Structure 1
Amino acid sequence: MSATATGLELYSRTADDAAAAVINRYSTSFALACRLLGPRPRPHVRNIYALVRVADEIVDGPAHDAGLSPAQERATLDALESEVRDAIASGFSANLVVHAFARTARECGIGDDLIAPFFASMRTDLDTAAHDDASHDAYVYGSAEVVGLMCLQV
């Protein structure tokens, strides 16, 4: 991007910066590891991580700490998933982290085959106290493996 970016280019750069801020705050080791990546994959991996982190925060604490009921947490997660899909389709989101992820998804071919199991796994955190083998496998696939697969798409 040019030094004098405007319009969508400036907005996308700002979205990438917001995603980088998320990763820098939540995982200094992952942020450091991302710096070892080349300039093309680095922002995309940060964009993936930022969205994953935001979704995880909805289901694992801060949303509850803010006073959201379990139903409100689910509705918030559902809205995030819908916003991600809409942003991938349109190329824009007013949510900077979603915009950054959607740009990455569009450029790198991250599709619903990875997005759907990720959000399904996040929903598991809302209503599953104990896992059997099958639910555990589905949870690990959606919460960890697909994130790695998204990074491989980059």
Structure 2
Amino acid sequence: MIGSELDAAGVRDVNLRRAYRECRKLNAHHGKTFFLATRLLTPAQRPAVHALYGFARRADDVLDGFDDRTVADRADELQGLATALFTRLVEKRHCGDDPVLDAVVDTASHYRIDWQLFDDFLASMRMDLAVTDYPDRAALDRYMYGSAEVIGLQMLPVLGTVVPREEAAPYAAALGKAFQLTNFLRDIDEDLSRGRVYLPADELAAHGVDREVLSWCQRNRRTDPRLRAALVEQHALTRRVYQQAEPGVAMLHPRSRPCVAAALTLYSEILDRIEEMDFAVFAQRATVPTGRRLRVASVGLARALTARLRHREA
């Protein structure tokens, strides 16, 4: 299957094919919902998406691996990743043996994805080395621009648009933001275990919630009424971001719409699960059942095939 995708994408070099295969493995293993949605893209588009995911995953692993590396070790490793990407992508000089970088540089070059987007992403990743709390929405938004919105902007040239790209860009950025806000709600327990809180401190404080309350909830696997009220507010805000992003689906090339629509549906349904379990985010992890994911994917696949036939794209 991956061989046919690489053939469709015009990837002939043996080493590059190996690199893209590595990125696909990362996506399949770590990004199950995202990987499923990626299957709705044309074969020619998939390797590029795997490469972008693979690079983001590499940075994530530097930050979040539970091991004995110090903050300084992680900072050095992240800087090494940034330097290697800059050397390859901007200076056009090959350095080292890193299949993930091979693939993402090939993708960025082919789709003309600007270095600045990667630099902004890496800037937010560096924040995770030192920043553990965000005092207000503006501070969190600065972090999310690099950590989430630029992912949507990187994806845009791969997906294609039927309007000028700059017109579709705010919607692509909003969808990346909506996905990450969903993760913040779903993963509050896991993030707190890493010492981080990705909810604005002033908005939590308005409901009487601080670190002490969050730690109590985690220890007791319960959602304090004050935290529940705060999460209801954050949940509603995230819903509004999905609403802002949704009109952007129609701006994409028809072949890409089923994929993005499926991803939007599945991720937004994580919010449904959080609400259905009455915001018990420390008692269980909100997930969309496999059967539901497969049903959404099946509908998306039918629409994707119709779009490809209509536009004569296999």
Please state which band the TM-score falls in when normalised by the shorter chain: 0.7 to 0.9
1:134 is displaced (CA, Å) by 3.0
Which residue of the partner structure matches residue 68 of structure 2? Answer: 67
Which residue of the partner structure matches residue 137 of structure 1? Answer: 141
Which residue of the partner structure matches residue 79 of structure 1? Answer: 80
SS in 2 for 1:68: coil
In structure 1, how many angstroms separate the alpha carbons of the residues matched to 2:55 and 2:102?
10
Higher helix share: 1
2:42 paired with 1:41: no
1:75 is displaced (CA, Å) by 0.5
Q: Residues 30 and 91 (structure 1 numbering): CA distance in 2 closer, same or farther, change over 3 Å?
A: farther
1:105 is displaced (CA, Å) by 0.7
Q: Which of 19, 33, 36 matches 2:23?
A: 19
Which residue of the partner structure matches residue 245 of structure 2? Answer: none
Q: Residues 91 and 31 (structure 1 numbering): CA distance in 2 closer, same or farther, change over 3 Å?
A: farther
Which amino acid in 2 is paired with 1:114? L
Q: Is contact 1:92-1:102 (8 Å) kept?
A: no
Which residue of the partner structure matches residue 92 of structure 2? Answer: 90
Coordinate RMSD, CA, aligned = 1.6
1:90 is displaced (CA, Å) by 2.6
Instruction: Give the TM-score taking structure 1 as reference length.
Output: 0.88
Which residue of the partner structure matches residue 170 of structure 2? Answer: none
The structure with the largest alpha-carbon Rg is: 2
Which amino acid in 1 is paired with 2:53? Y
Which amino acid in 2 is paired with 1:123? R
Q: How does 1:109-120 map to 2 (within 5 A)?
A: 109-120=112-123
Which residue of the partner structure matches residue 100 of structure 1? Answer: 103
Deviating beyond 6 angstroms after TM superposition, the runs of 4 or more aligned structure 1 residues are: none
2:163 paired with 1:150: no
Q: Is contact 1:23-1:50 (8 Å) kept?
A: yes
Which amino acid in 2 is paired with 1:76? E
Note the residue ranges of structure 2 that are not aligned, 5 or more in a row.
1-5, 159-314
In structure 2, how many angstroms separate the alpha carbons of the residues matched to 1:86 and 1:126?
23
SS in 2 for 1:90: coil
Which amino acid in 2 is paired with 1:57? D
Which amino acid in 2 is paired with 1:74? A
1:91 is displaced (CA, Å) by 6.6
Provide, for residues 10-41 of structure 1, a one-character-per-residue CA deviation record: whole Å limited to 9, x for no partner.
00011000000000110111111111101221
In structure 2, how many angstroms separate the alpha carbons of the residues matched to 1:92 and 1:137?
34
Instruction: Give the TM-score taking structure 2 as reference length.
Output: 0.44
More relative contact order, 1 or 2 (CA 8 Å, 6+ apart): 1
